[in-house]
C-alpha cells in the first residue's frame, strides 16, 4: 500500500478512536455528574424533612416551656399561645398542636366535671375502666376534625401508648408508628402519626425513669396526617419522586408517594431517617424531568462533533497533501521546461553554427570559382576560358546555388511551420510518377554514392489528393538521407496500398539510428548525436518532412537498428 494511503487510514482511525474514547469518557463523566446530582437532590429532600420535623419539635418544646412557667393548665392560655406561634401558617402540613393530660382513675370524674363546665359534651373516651387515662384537653386549631379528638384517651391505644411511654421515660420528643388519627373520618382512614413531648411537674427531679414517671403531668403533642405533611414539605419537588414509609418498605407502611407513577425510574436511592425515635424510609427516584448530563443527545453531540473534527482534520490534511502535490508537479514541470529550454538553446546554437557552416561552404566555393574566372579573364588565357572549362565552372556554380536555395527553403519552411503558415495545396497526384521523378532528379547522387538508382517495387496506379510539391520534398528528404547515411549500400523503395491509405517504405543498409534517438530525429534541429563536421545537414529535413506528412493527415515513423540500416515508413491517406 502507498505511504499516503497508510497515513489516510492512520488519521481516520486515530480520529475515530479518539472520538469514541472521548465519547466514552464524557459519557462516564456525565453519568458520574448525574449520580452526584441525584445524591445531592436526595440529601436535600432528606434535609428538608428533617428540618421541618425539627421545627415542629421546637414548637412543642416552646409550648412545654410556656406551660412549665405559667403555673396552671388553662385551656384558654394554651390555645392563645399556640395561635400566637403562627405555626400553622409558617409550616403548613401540621394537623394540630394540643395537650393531653394524664389522669388516674380516681381523678376521672372530677376532671370530667371540671371540663364539662367549659365543654358540656366533654367526656373521656373510649369508655371503660382503666388505671390511667390520658385525655386530650386542647387541640388547636379547633376545627371540626380536631374537635372530634377532644377527650380521646391516647393511652388506650397501644401504638400511641408505646410512644408516650418512651417519651415519658426518656424525656424526649417521640413519634408514634403509623396510626390513623382519631379525627379522621372513618371512610378516609388516612395514615398519620403523633409526636409527643412529655410535660413534667415543675421543680421535680427528672434524673431517672422512676422520677420522670412520677413527675409526669401530660404531653404536648402534634398529630400529623402523613399525606398533608409530606406534600407540604415536598411542595416544590419537581425532579424527584419521593416515597416515604414508616419503619420498612412494606406497601402497608407507605405514608406518602409524591408522584404516583408506574414507570421504571432510574436512578433510585433508599435512605433511612431517624426522626424522634422512629425510622422513616425515604425512597427517591429521578423523574424523567431530572436534568441528565448523560442524555443520549449530549453523548451523540460529542460523538458527532468528534467525527466532524476528524473529517475536518482529514480534509485539511487532504487539501494540504493535494497542494503539496500540485506544488511538486508544478516544480517538476518547471524543471522540465527549463531543461527543454536549455536543450533548445543548445540545439539552436548548434543549428546556427551548422547553418553558418552550411551556408559558408557553397559561398566560399562560389567565391573561389568567381576568383578563378576573374583571374582567367584578366590573364586573357583562352585555354582557361574554353567552352568545357566555363561550362564546368557554371555547372559547379549552379550546384552550389541549388544547395544554397535548398538551405534557405528549409529555413523558410521552418519559419512557416512555426507561424502555422505551412499550407498544403491539394491536387490529384499520381504517387508513382512523383517517386520516379524524384529518383530521376537525384540520379547523379544515387549513381555517385551507390553506383545505381534505388531498387523500387511500386504498387501500380496510386492516385491521391496531395500537395505535389510538398510530397516531392518529403521523398527528396528521405532519399537524400538514405544516400547520406546509407554507407553506399543499396537503397530500396516500396509502396503498398491498404484500403484508402498508402504506405511508402524507404530502406537503406546504412549507419542506422540508436533507439534513444528515434523519437528525437523528427524534432527541430535534431541531428542524431552527430557533430556538424561528420555529415553535412541542418537537422531540419525530418522535422519538415514529419510536419508535411502530418498536414496531409498521415504519419511517419522509422524502424532502425544501429549499424544495420533504417526503414522510414510514410503513411498517407489517399483522400483529404
Residues that bind ligand ADP (CB under 6 A): 477, 481-482, 485, 508, 510-513, 521, 526-528, 530, 537-543, 566
Q: Which is nearer to ligand ADP, 293 or 551 (CB)?
A: 551
Q: Are 492 and 478 in contact (CB under 8 A)?
A: no
Q: How far is the CB of 2 from ligand ADP (least distance, A)?
A: 41
Residue 16 and residue 26: Cα distance in Å, rounded? Answer: 15
Cell reading at 330: 508544478
> In this structure, what are the phi and psi dihedrals at residue 185, rounded to the nearest 5 degrees?
-75, 145
CB of 324 to ligand ADP, least distance (A): 41
Three-state SS string over 229-258 comes to HHHHHCCCCCCEEEEEEECCCCHHHEEEEC
Residues 6+ apart with CB under 8 A from 423: 416
Given the C-alpha cell 522540465, which residue does it identify?
A: 336
Cβ–Cβ < 8 Å for 226, 95: no
- Between the alpha carbon of residue 506 and those of residues 481, 509, 528, 557, the distances in Å are 10, 10, 18, 11
Task: Output 285 or 481, the one with its CB closest to ligand ADP.
Answer: 481
Q: Name the burial class of residue 363, with classes exposed (0-12), middle (13-18) and buried (19+) by CB atoms within 10 angstroms of its CB.
A: middle
Asked if residue 278 lies in contact with residue 247, where contact means CB atoms within 8 angstroms, the answer is yes
Q: How far apart are CA 70 and CA 64, in angstroms?
A: 10
Minimum CB separation from ligand ADP for residue 490, in Å? 13
Neighbour tally for 341: CB within 10 Å: 10
Taking CB atoms, the residue at the shortest distance from ligand ADP is 537
58 vs 488, beta carbon nearer ligand ADP: 488
Query: From CA 413, how far away is CA 340, in angstroms rounded?
Result: 22
Indicate the residue among 413 and 508 with the shorter CB distance to ligand ADP: 508
Q: Which regions of 88-164 does DSSP assign to beta strands (E)?
A: 97-104, 132-140
- Distance of closest approach, residue 445 Cβ to ligand ADP, in angstroms: 14
What's the min distance (Å) between Cβ of 524 and ligand ADP? Answer: 9
CB of 428 to ligand ADP, least distance (A): 28
For residue 564, the minimal CB distance to ligand ADP (Å) is 10
Distances (CA, A) of 10 to 6, 20, 304, 306, 323: 6, 15, 19, 16, 20
- Residue number with CB closer to ligand ADP (124 or 354): 354
- What backbone phi and psi angles, to 5 degrees, belong to 346? -60, -45
Nearest distance, CB of residue 345 and ligand ADP, angstroms: 19
Tell the smallest beta-carbon distance from residue 483 to ligand ADP (Å): 9
- Which three cell numbers mark 77? 392560655
**How far apart (Å, rounded) are the C-alpha atoms in residues 384 and 375?**
9
Taking the complex as a whole, the smallest distance from the CB of residue 574 to ligand ADP amounts, in Å, to 26
Of 158 and 564, CB closest to ligand ADP: 564
Least separation, in Å, of the C-beta of 523 and ligand ADP? 9
Cβ distance to ligand ADP smaller for residue 222 or 347: 347
- Grid coordinates of 380: 586573357
DSSP string across 389-413 = HHHHHHHHHHHHHHHHHHHHHHHHH
- Name the residue nearer to ligand ADP (CB basis): 220 or 546: 546
Q: 221 vs 485, which CB is nearer to ligand ADP? A: 485
Of 223 and 541, the one with the shorter C-beta distance to ligand ADP is: 541
Are 112 and 122 in contact, with CB atoms under 8 Å apart? yes
Nearer to ligand ADP, 228 or 350 (CB): 350
Q: How far apart are CA 527 and CA 352, in angstroms?
A: 13
Bridge partners for 457 per DSSP: 494
Beta strand pairing call for 97-104 and 216-225? antiparallel
Shortest Å distance, C-beta 349 to ligand ADP: 16
Q: Distance (Å, rounded) from C-alpha 491 to C-alpha 322?
A: 56
Nearer to ligand ADP, 138 or 542 (CB): 542
**Least Cβ distance, residue 568 to ligand ADP (angstroms):** 7
DSSP assignment letter at 453: P
Q: Look at the block and give the residue holding cell 443520549.
A: 296
Comparison of 239 and 569: residue with beta carbon closer to ligand ADP: 569
Distance CA 279, CA 167 (A): 15
Amino acid at each position: 500500500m502507498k505511504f499516503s494511503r497508510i497515513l489516510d487510514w492512520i488519521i481516520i482511525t486515530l480520529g475515530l478512536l479518539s472520538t469514541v474514547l472521548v465519547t466514552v469518557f464524557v459519557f462516564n463523566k456525565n453519568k458520574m455528574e448525574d449520580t452526584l446530582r441525584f445524591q445531592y437532590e436526595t440529601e436535600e429532600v432528606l434535609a428538608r424533612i428533617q428540618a421541618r420535623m425539627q421545627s415542629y419539635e421546637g414548637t412543642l418544646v416552646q409550648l412545654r416551656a410556656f406551660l412549665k412557667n405559667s403555673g396552671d393548665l388553662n385551656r384558654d392560655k394554651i390555645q392563645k399561645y399556640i395561635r400566637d406561634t403562627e405555626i400553622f401558617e409558617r409550616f403548613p402540613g401540621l394537623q394540630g398542636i394540643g395537650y393531653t393530660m394524664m389522669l388516674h382513675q380516681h381523678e376521672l370524674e372530677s376532671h370530667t366535671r371540671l371540663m364539662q363546665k367549659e365543654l358540656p359534651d366533654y367526656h373521656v373516651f373510649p369508655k371503660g375502666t382503666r388505671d390511667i387515662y390520658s385525655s386530650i384537653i386542647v387541640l388547636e386549631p379547633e376545627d371540626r376534625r380536631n374537635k372530634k379528638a377532644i377527650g380521646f384517651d391516647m393511652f388506650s391505644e397501644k401504638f400511641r401508648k408505646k410512644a408516650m411511654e418512651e417519651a415519658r421515660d426518656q424525656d424526649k420528643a417521640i413519634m408514634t408508628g403509623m396510626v390513623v388519627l382519631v379525627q379522621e373520618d372513618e371512610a378516609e382512614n388516612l395514615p398519620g402519626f403523633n409526636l409527643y413531648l412529655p410535660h413534667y411537674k415543675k421543680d421535680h427531679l427528672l434524673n431517672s425513669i422512676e422520677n420522670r414517671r412520677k413527675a409526669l403531668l401530660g404531653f404536648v403533642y402534634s398529630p400529623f396526617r402523613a399525606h398533608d405533611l409530606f406534600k407540604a414539605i415536598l411542595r416544590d419537588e419537581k425532579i424527584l419522586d419521593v416515597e416515604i414509609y414508616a419503619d420498612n418498605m412494606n406497601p402497608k407502611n407507605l405514608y406518602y408517594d409524591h408522584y404516583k407513577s408506574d414507570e421504571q425510574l432510574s436512578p433510585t436511592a433508599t435512605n433511612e431517617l431517624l426522626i424522634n425515635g422512629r425510622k422513616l424510609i425515604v425512597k427517591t427516584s429521578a423523574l424523567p424531568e431530572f436534568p441528565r448530563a448523560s442524555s443520549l443527545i449530549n453523548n451523540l453531540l460529542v460523538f458527532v462533533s468528534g467525527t466532524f473534527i476528524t473529517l475536518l482534520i482529514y480534509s485539511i490534511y487532504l487539501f494540504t497533501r493535494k497542494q503539496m502535490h500540485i506544488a511538486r508537479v508544478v516544480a517538476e514541470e518547471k524543471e522540465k521546461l527549463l531543461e527543454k529550454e536549455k536543450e533548445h538553446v543548445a540545439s539552436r546554437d548548434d543549428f546556427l553554427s551548422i547553418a553558418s557552416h552550411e551556408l559558408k561552404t557553397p559561398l566560399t566555393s562560389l567565391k573561389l570559382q568567381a576568383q578563378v574566372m576573374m583571374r582567367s579573364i584578366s590573364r586573357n588565357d583562352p585555354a582557361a576560358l574554353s567552352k568545357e572549362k566555363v561550362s564546368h565552372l557554371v555547372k559547379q556554380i549552379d550546384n552550389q546555388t541549388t544547395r544554397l536555395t535548398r538551405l534557405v527553403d528549409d529555413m523558410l519552411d521552418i519559419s512557416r511551420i512555426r507561424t502555422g503558415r505551412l499550407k498544403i495545396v491539394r491536387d490529384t497526384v499520381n504517387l508513382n510518377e512523383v517517386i520516379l521523378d524524384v529518383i530521376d532528379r537525384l540520379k547523379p547522387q544515387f549513381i555517385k554514392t551507390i553506383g545505381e538508382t534505388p531498387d523500387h517495387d511500386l504498387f501500380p496506379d496510386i492516385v491521391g489528393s496531395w500537395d505535389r510539391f510538398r510530397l516531392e520534398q518529403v521523398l527528396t528528404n528521405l532519399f537524400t538521407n538514405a544516400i547520406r547515411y546509407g554507407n553506399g549500400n543499396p537503397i530500396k523503395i516500396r509502396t503498398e496500398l491498404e484500403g484508402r491509405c498508402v504506405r511508402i517504405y524507404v530502406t537503406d543498409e546504412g549507419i542506422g539510428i540508436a533507439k534513444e534517438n528515434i523519437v528525437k530525429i523528427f524534432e527541430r534541429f535534431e541531428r542524431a548525436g552527430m557533430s556538424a563536421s561528420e555529415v553535412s545537414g541542418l537537422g531540419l529535413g525530418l522535422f519538415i518532412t514529419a510536419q508535411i506528412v502530418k498536414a496531409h493527415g498521415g504519419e511517419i515513423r522509422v524502424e532502425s537498428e544501429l549499424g544495420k540500416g533504417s526503414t522510414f515508413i510514410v503513411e498517407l491517406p489517399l483522400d483529404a
